[in-house]
Structure formats: structure tokens, C-alpha cells
Amino acid sequence: MLPAVTRSLRDSVARLGLAEQAFWLYGKMGRALPRTIFANARLRNRGAPDGLPIPPSDLIFLVAGSSDISWFLKAGSLAAKSISDALRARGVSMEEVGAVLDFGCGCGRVLRHWHSLHQTRICGTDYNSKLVEWCRSNLPFGEFQVNQLSPPLPYRSAEFGLVYALSVFTHLTEDLQFRWMNELSRVITPGGYLIVSTHGERYVHRLSNAERKRFDAGDLVVKNNINAPGSNTCSAYHPMAFVRDRLAAGLQVVDFIPEGARGNPKQDLYVLRKPMRQS
């Protein structure tokens, strides 16, 4: 289907308030495909390579946009490697970064890949209590909390050396993005890191002509922001200038990796650092 037609159809569904229903219908159709059923059954019978439990199919689809267990595991591994590689480029390893917080942890898609960091405190928080409960029951090496749509988090100031939020700011309204950026900065230690992924240039085909003009002017574009803020059907598009000059104000943008969020295909990756001393 042509991009313009796809965009028009997606926008029409959102305007009718049917985006959430369409999202779940798409998921059910994907789970019903014989190829998916066979591949998933084989993996569940054999078990995940890391020896950890595999989430139910509906939770996998909610966090990965696909019911394919193989992709869920591969995408999580790629995302974890994106984070560790981004830190390594700064001369920092996961083993020495300090306590880690996965903001928007889902059912542990990325967080499960830190299970070998025995000396590191691993925490996860998510808006969806069902996802958090699954993590609590199946990933005993981590600590998990439910967060609300708006701050605050149940953590002390300067508690984490690393916070990452993959495909989280991509689903928040502008107001929520600024509020969460301030809150995540609060819980990071001075000199600590915040890594976020965004929809950048590779996603502009999803925008109308008017939205593209706003994007090119350096403005954030948020679609379906009224019906479902914080959900998969609310989508935000970030020009680099918006992140650098506005969203990350007060933090240092130490690296920008276009399409660098491997495991979150084509999303950009920003590495932000909290100054040692706040001005």
C-alpha cells in the first residue's frame, strides 16, 4: 500500500477513536498465522536461549508490535546491545555504570538481557500493571514498580547511573515528555546517563504535509494525542533540533545515533548525560 494511502487510513482510524481496537485486531490476526503458531510453539517447547520464561503472546505483542517470540527475543537483545555499545563509545561499561532503570520496561524485552550483571541493581517500571506483575513473577533478578501516566517515580533523587527509555517518548504528548524528562533527570546521578529512542527522519512518511512542515521547522509532532496518550496508538515524531534544544535542556547531548536504536527499527538513539554540577 502506498505510504500516503496508509497514512490517510491510519489517521482516519485514529480520528474515529478506533486506533486501539485496530491495534489489537492486527495482533490477533498475526497470532493466528500458521507460520507464527508453529514457530512460537517450537520456541515455547524448547525454551528461550537465556533460560528465562517467555511472556504470553498478548504481552509480547503489546511491547513488540508482533507476536513472533523469535523477534521479541532478538529485538530485546539488539536493543540491549545498542545501549551497551552507546555507553562503551563513552568509555563506560554496563558493569560500572551503577544502578540501571528501564523506564517502560514492558515484560522485560530488554531488561532480561541484563540478568548476567550480578553486581548491578536492575530496576524496571511501567505504566501497565499487568506487564509489571509478569516481570515480578518471572524475572527475579530485577526490582519492578508500576508508574502512573504522569510523574513522579517512587525513587530517590540521584538513584541511578543509567536510565533508558526505548520507544517510550515516541508515545507521549509534549507536556508529558517534558515532565518525564525532568523526572528521569532527577533520579539520575550527576554524571549519569539517560538513553532515549525517538521517531526521527525515517518516520516522516507517516506525517501529512502540514505535519511535515512543522517537523522540518523543528517542532514535535504528536498524532492521536487526545484519545490515547501513553499508548501504542499515540505516536510522537522528534526532529533532532527539538530534542537538542528543548526536550533535553539541562542535559548534555553527548551522542546522537540516527536509526541507532537496534531492536526498535529505524528509531534514532540519543545519549544524554546529566552534568556533574547543575547550573
Domain that holds residue 177: 74-273
d(Cα 78, Cα 80) in Å, to the nearest integer?
5
In a domain, 122, yes or no: yes
Q: Using 50, 70 and 90 to split pLDDT, how confident is the model at 230?
A: confident
* Distance in angstroms (rounded) separating the CA atoms of residues 205 and 222: 14
Q: Is residue 53 part of a domain?
A: no
pLDDT on residue 36? 73
Whether residue 176 lies inside any domain: the answer is yes
Q: What local confidence, expressed as pLDDT, does residue 25 receive?
A: 46
Q: Is the peptide bond before 152 cis (omega within 30 degrees of 0)?
A: yes
Average pLDDT over residues 210-238: 89
Does residue 42 lie in a domain region? Answer: no
Residue 43, domain member (yes or no): no
DSSP letter string, 202-242: GGGGGS-HHHHHHHHTT--EEESTTT-TTSTTSEEE--HHH
Mean pLDDT of 145-174: 97
Provide the pLDDT for residue 2.
42
- Whether 95 maps to a domain, the answer reads yes
pLDDT (0 to 100) of residue 19: 44
Banded pLDDT at 229 (limits 50, 70, 90)? confident
- pLDDT per position as a tens digit, 7-16: 444 444 344 4
**Position 213 in a domain:** yes
HSE (CB half, 13 Å, CA atoms) of 153? 28
> What is the total count of domains within the chain?
1
pLDDT digits (tens, 9 = 90+) for 70-127: 999 999 999 999 999 999 999 999 999 999 999 999 999 999 999 999 999 999 999 9
Rounded Cα distance, 214 and 239, in Å? 9
165 touches 136 (CB < 8 A): no
Burial of residue 234, with CB atoms counted within 10 A of its CB: 0-12 exposed, 13-18 middle, 19 or more buried: buried
Query: What is this structure's pTM?
Result: 0.88
In angstroms, rounded to a whole number, what is the distance separating the alpha carbons of residues 245 and 77?
31
Question: Any idea what the CATH number is for the domain that residue 138 is in?
Answer: 3.40.50.150
Q: Is residue 232 part of a domain?
A: yes
Q: How far apart are CA 30 and CA 131, in angstroms?
A: 20
Residue 37 pLDDT grade (very low, low, confident, very high; cuts 50, 70, 90): confident
Read off the pLDDT of each residue in 178-182 and give the average, rounded to a whole number: 98
